[in-house]
Structures are given as C-alpha cells and as structure tokens.
Structure 1
Amino acid sequence: MKFHTRKWVKPEDLNPNKTLFGGKLLAWIDEEAALYSIIQLENSHVVTKHMSEINFMASAREGDIVEIGIEVLKFGKTSLILHCEVRNKMTHETIITVDQITMVNLDEDGKPKPHGKTEVEYVIDRLSGKD
C-alpha cells in the first residue's frame, strides 16, 4: 500500500474527547479516494458510491501526523474499488481501515461511464510516454 497524503491533526479536528473526530477522518479518506480515482481514471467526474466496513482501531491526538494509504482492489466497468488504511506517521499504528470504497466514473451528465482501465497507472509513466 502506498501512503499518498499526510494530515496534521489540529485543534479544530478534535472531538470533545480531545481525539480526532471520526467524521473529519472519514472526510479526509473520501477526499483522498476521490483524488486517487480522478488521477487513475483520468476523469474529474468521479463520485463515492459505497464505503464498506469501517474499523476504528486507534485514536489520533492533537499534533499527530496521520497518513492515508490507498490501494486498488479491483477495476470494474465503470468503477474502481479501493482499500484504505490510515496510520500514525511516526508510530505506524493503524488508526482506521476501510475495507472497500467504491468510486464510480461519470460522464458529463452524471451517468456511470465505462473507464476502460484494467490496472494501476502512474502519472510519471504517462508523462514519459511509457506503456
């Protein structure tokens, strides 16, 4: 799994227990899944359809740095199914896992659109012309 994004837990991210608010963390995950999918599918019209089992395993506190990891589980016809893990950057303790996040590729009218992708591609390869 590649960890693409880091977030610094700030006071405005905390719940009354002084730990990272779960809703804030899920918003970060949703944004990361969308950005990852947009880059993979080369289309800015991508939406979250489904998040499966979400497992909160540890807390993050103010000042912690968390990193968000995404990996592709499957390419569907119009979708991309991802797995996510968020961990503490310094200790590598897992904070949350999301077993499956289904992202759907859309056309300009908001309808599911086949993307034609079958494997993970890296932007550096696209830019250098490698296949």
Structure 2
Amino acid sequence: MRYHTRKIVKPGDLNPNETLFGGRLLEWIDEEAALYAVIQLESKRVVTKFMSEINFVSSAVQGDIVEIGMDVVNFGRSSLILTCEVRNKLTRKTIIKVEKITMVNLDENGKPAPHGKTKIEFVKDRLAQN
C-alpha cells in the first residue's frame, strides 16, 4: 500500500461521539481516489462509480494524523479499480479499509471512454521521457 495523503483530525471532523465522522473520512477517501485516478489516467474526466463494502476497523480522535493509502487492483478498458486503507500515521493502526473503488474515465459527453493505460505510471518517469 502506498500512502499519499495525510490529514489531521480537527474539531469540525468529529461526530457526537468525539471521534472522526465516517462521512468525513469517506469524503477524504473519495477525493484521494479521484486524485489518484486523474494522475494515473492522465484525464480530468474521472468519476467514482462504485465503492465496495466499507470496513471501519478503529476510530480516530481530534489531533490524530491519518494517512490515506491507495493501490491499483486492476486497469479496465475505461476504469481503474483501487483498494484503500486509512491508518493512524503514528500508531499504524488501521482505521478503515475499502476493498474496491471503481473510478471511470469519461469522454466529453459523460460516457465511459477508454483510457489506454495498463500499468501504474509515476509522474517522475513520465517527466523523464519528455
């Protein structure tokens, strides 16, 4: 798992139990998945199509630093399937796991479009080719 983004849990991120609100965490995951897909597919027209069962393993509290990890499960013709794990940065304790997130590349009419990608590419490698 490659961890890309870190967030600090702030007062506005808490639920009435004073732990990280699940909806806020899902918002962060969806944003990270979109960023990851846009970078991998080199397309700004990417949307979330599906999130599998979500497993909340532990909670986070105000002041915790969480990190969001994404890995590619599969490249489809017009899709990219990711897996996600969010963990506490300092304790490494898993907070949530999402087995599959399907992101879909769209054309200018909002229809699924082939992206032509088959493997993970790193921006530094793309820059080296230019």
What root-mean-square deviation, in Å, do the aligned CA atoms of Structure 1 and Structure 2 show?
0.8
Residue 109 of structure 1 and its aligned partner are, at CA, apart by 1.2
TM-score (normalizing by structure 1): 0.98
Partner of 2:44: 44
Partner of 1:91: 91
User: Which structure 2 segments of 5+ residues have no match?
Assistant: none
For the pair 1:80 / 2:80, whether they are aligned, the reply is: yes
1:73-101 deviations in whole A, cap 9, x for unaligned?
00000000000000000000000000000
TM-score (normalizing by structure 2): 0.99
Q: What is the correspondence of 1:23-42 to structure 2 with a 5 Å cutoff? A: 23-42=23-42
Residue 53 of structure 1 and its aligned partner are, at CA, apart by 1.3
Q: What is the SS of the residue equivalent to 1:115?
A: coil
Partner of 2:15: 15
Partner of 2:106: 106
Structure 2 distance, partners of 1:109, 1:89, is: 40
Structure 2 distance, partners of 1:60, 1:16, is: 13
User: Which structure 1 segments of 5+ residues have no match?
Assistant: none
Q: What is the SS of the residue equivalent to 2:121?
A: coil
The amino acid of 1:44's aligned partner reads K
**Percentage identity across paired residues of the two chains:** 70
Structure 2 distance, partners of 1:29, 1:65, is: 15
Residue 55 of structure 1 and its aligned partner are, at CA, apart by 0.1
Structure 2 distance, partners of 1:82, 1:33, is: 7
How many residue pairs align between the two structures? 130
Greater than 2 Å deviation, 4+ residue runs:
none
